[in-house]
A and B are shown apart, each in its own frame.
Chain A
Amino acid sequence: MNVLHFVNAFFSDSAHWHGYDGIPYRVVEHLQYSLEALAFAAAIGLPVGLVTGHYGRGGNVLALIATAARALPTFGLLVLLVTWLSFSTGLVMIPLVVLAIPPILVTTYEAVRSVDPSPVDAARGMGMPESRVLFQVELPVALPLILSGLRSAAIQIVSTATIAAYVSLGGLGRYIIDGLYQKNYEKVVGGATLVAGMALATLLVFWAVSRIVVSPGVRRSS
């Protein structure tokens, strides 16, 4: 009885491929939570990081918030929120978003702040409006670092979204938690494999995105 055996047994059982508890359904569910959480976190982290990075101010405050957010136990926060506010699908978002904001915010801030000041000076001196300086000069150069922040946030979300199952909200965590409860290790290993596979797929997606959106001039020179 080794791990590979469990994996094989889990994925070859046709019952695992259909219905409410089937793999496709759970994968979509998991993906949905992850994407939503990433979108929320990016909607907060990116603009704040871009603006503070552009003006080069607020770094200390950001670092403080980020450290505090990182110290928050994700799992504890989820349980607290559920007992406090009762169930809703939106609820699982909060700890995931809180988890994902610090890497996005801090790397975006650092990425923009550390852009070589001379092209920025040249852009201003040529009469480029401030918004264009940010979006057409700083952002394209900061993009690889910003994407790496988004990537680590995404991977953390994908792996942490398993806790949604703990409060009966589904996702791939369902297999792990149910499996542990039922002492069904086939299910535990299968669920864990799926989560790991999804984290790897996330890496792949980010790699592909950066190939497309990052200018070759930036990719090659950094």
Chain B
Amino acid sequence: MSVELLNFIETVINGLMSGIMYSLVALGFVLIFKASGVFNFAQGVFALFAALTLVGFQTGQVPFSHLINELFGTNFHNWYPSLHSFFAIILTIITMIVLAWLIEKLVLKHLVNQEPIILFMATIGLAFVLEGVGDLMWGSDVKVLDVGIPSGGSEWLEKTTIGWASEGSEYYGMYIDVLNVWATIIAVILVTALALFSQYTKTGRALRAVADDHQAALSVGISLRSIWVLVWAISGFIAMVAGIMWGTESGVQFSLSLIALKALPVLILGGFTSIPGAIIGGLLIGLGEKLAEIYIGGLLDIGAIENWFAYFMALVFLLFRPQGLFGDKIIERV
């Protein structure tokens, strides 16, 4: 095989796998939008908050230690030296469930029947609160997150692929981040689990009923509010998974919350209401972005078109299908 072809294959694989990382964030958006009609801008900050909390539990940091030290002149930082990742993850999941419950209790309950834009702004407010509280609780320095997922290039793959290039050409093998492979595996498990859960359990059926029609679900005795708590908790869990993945890759810091902006084109491409849409949208966006960066960006000699190319791509799709690839058809009546 020629080097160009091998490079192309490498780009495609890397693109698809970075797309999976976007899908992980988009998935949380879709779940919440389906069940409660809320466009949850805070999903990215959810991921940041979950990752911060996870690191905090792992290293045994005292919540709000900075603040307490500053106010009272004390000097304490850690409860205990370290905690096994497994228990830290369990504790983080519990935190996210409590958070979901609080959000329903304090925010959503009071905003039922408001216009979508008001709910959207409320989630922006929520994003600010979580960001501020996260920083106050755990400090704003960049943290290293390690839960034992391997990362870095795969040597095995590099060695295998070197032989594929045609004789005499300079080729050093494919570079594929192992972390992305793990993200793919975890995403597959997650989606399968979600699908099984919503197909075969009673709560899952209630979930789908609420997503289908709020009023009809209410009238057959499904409690909307408990479903909302459940959905926000599941989204919190997905956010934690996304936070672990992104946090392992680039450290836990404020920029982690900006992955929400990366997930938005995935959402409009796939449609706000479709879980397969989130996955396929993510794959398409990841692929398109990487190919554009290398082939179009290289051609024009301008870098960083990644920033807007995803949006542009989603826009082109939207011009043909205004509801996204898999979104519910928009039916309008006067």
Asked if A pairs with B, the answer is: no
Q: List chain A positions with a Cβ less than 8 A from chain B.
A: none
Q: List chain B positions with a Cβ less than 8 A from chain A.
A: none
